[in-house]
Amino acid sequence: MESVYHAEGRYYNTNVDASNTIAWRKEYSFRDYLGNTRLAFTDRNANGIVDITGTASTSDILQENHYYAFGLAFEGAWLQNDAGVRDNQYMYNGKELHSDFGLGMYAYGARYYDPSIGRFIGVDPISDEFPFVTTFNYAENEPIANIDLHGLQKVGINNRLAQILGLPSSDRGIIKPASEQMRDNSPIKAGIKDGSFIVLELMGINAIDNTIATWLDPKATIKEKIGAGAELGATAFSPSKVGTGKGMGKAKGGVYSLSEPTTGTVKRTGRTKDMAQRKNQHANGDETKDLDFNEEYRTDDYAEQRGLEQKVYDANPQAQSAKGGLNKIKPIGDRNKKKPDYEKAADDYLNRNQDQ
């Protein structure tokens, strides 16, 4: 065995080519904000200090990497590993570099990525969702502000933390989190605003602000006003928030439906990466502004979203355009090779949340 990798680096067998005896060395990786491995280091003499001697066999710096914007490694006289030691290949974005036969490509999961051209070598499996960019693009051609987690779609770095923390994209009232545009253009100001929002949210002040704003909003429906009051009550008497959809929690996206206010008949189904943003879009749409927005399931997992969207679609055939609804296409085509995977992901999700 050569190596055992973990989140902070790897255990490397220094005797991998010498004998059958295993001699593990702890190696740690220092990564930048994009997840790129910049330094790999160890502590050879266990003195608690990273010693830089300038000699590969004695220096604690094992590997130094520098990258062009799209991931191609700089060539130069950087600090190198010991002679004969195999480098840590998890480099750009923390993805594994495949150097076999001189390929020099990174494995992203869904596709392989060639940093020399800044493009994936395969078509994006979900390219139908992004008609405005080439099907081979990496991070929508913005490698400084975005990463591509699995070779499927971009993830904005400055918005990644907000997504992990479960911050909404918008909020009623005066107290609001930073916008995605602010996080991209003014990260320091955005950090201060998001930090303030989190503190006020934990104190319950934001729930009061939302309730007041909702009740004073002439466009707010009775249902929204009652919901705001319920949220305020939940904040006051419970450490967790209440929600209407299954799997409610910190997930930002999920599956939804639009229904007639009087009859409750579903006219459209869909999925989104940002539930709050999509609700606002439909509230201003010509065809959808008079429909109720219903959160069906909350999840940020792409496969779960696809499978759950199909289930909600199948449960509401009247929402199909052929029957007078607003659904123009089937969520998962019958020829989609990943359909079984999406269906299994949805079933697993429902089994986990069957008590909600």
Statement: residue 147 has pLDDT above 70: yes
Burial of 24 (0-12, 13-18, 19+ CB in 10 A): middle
pTM of the model: 0.52
Domain range annotation of the chain: 3-94, 159-237, 254-352
List, for residues 155-170, the tens digit of each pLDDT value. 777 666 666 555 665 5
Q: What six digits make up the tokens of 240?
A: 């967790």
What pLDDT is attached to residue 231? 64
Statement: residue 43 has pLDDT above 60: yes
What pLDDT is attached to residue 208? 83
- SS3 per-residue string spanning 53-112: CCCCCCCCEEEECCECCCCCECCCCCCCCCCCCCCCCECHHHCEEECHHHCCEEECCCCE
Contact 114, 120 (CB under 8 A): yes
pLDDT band at 333 (very low <50, low <70, confident <90, very high): confident
Q: What six digits make up the tokens of 107?
A: 């494995």
Most confident of 6-20, 174-188, 325-339: 325-339
Most confident of 8-17, 90-99, 169-178: 90-99
- The torsion angle over the Cα atoms of residues 317, 256, 220 and 288, rounded to 10 degrees, is -50
pLDDT band at 241 (very low <50, low <70, confident <90, very high): very low
What pLDDT is attached to residue 238? 44
- According to DSSP, the residues that pair with 3 across neighbouring strands are 12
List, for residues 45-81, the tens digit of each pLDDT value. 889 999 888 787 888 999 999 999 999 999 877 777 7
How far apart, in whole angstroms, are the C-alpha atoms of residue 323 and residue 310? 17
List, for residues 182-207, the tens digit of each pLDDT value. 776 777 787 788 888 888 877 778 77
> What 3-state DSSP class applies to 119?
strand
What pLDDT is attached to residue 276? 86
> Position of tokens 């496969």?
303
What pLDDT is attached to residue 265? 94
Statement: residue 310 has pLDDT above 90: yes
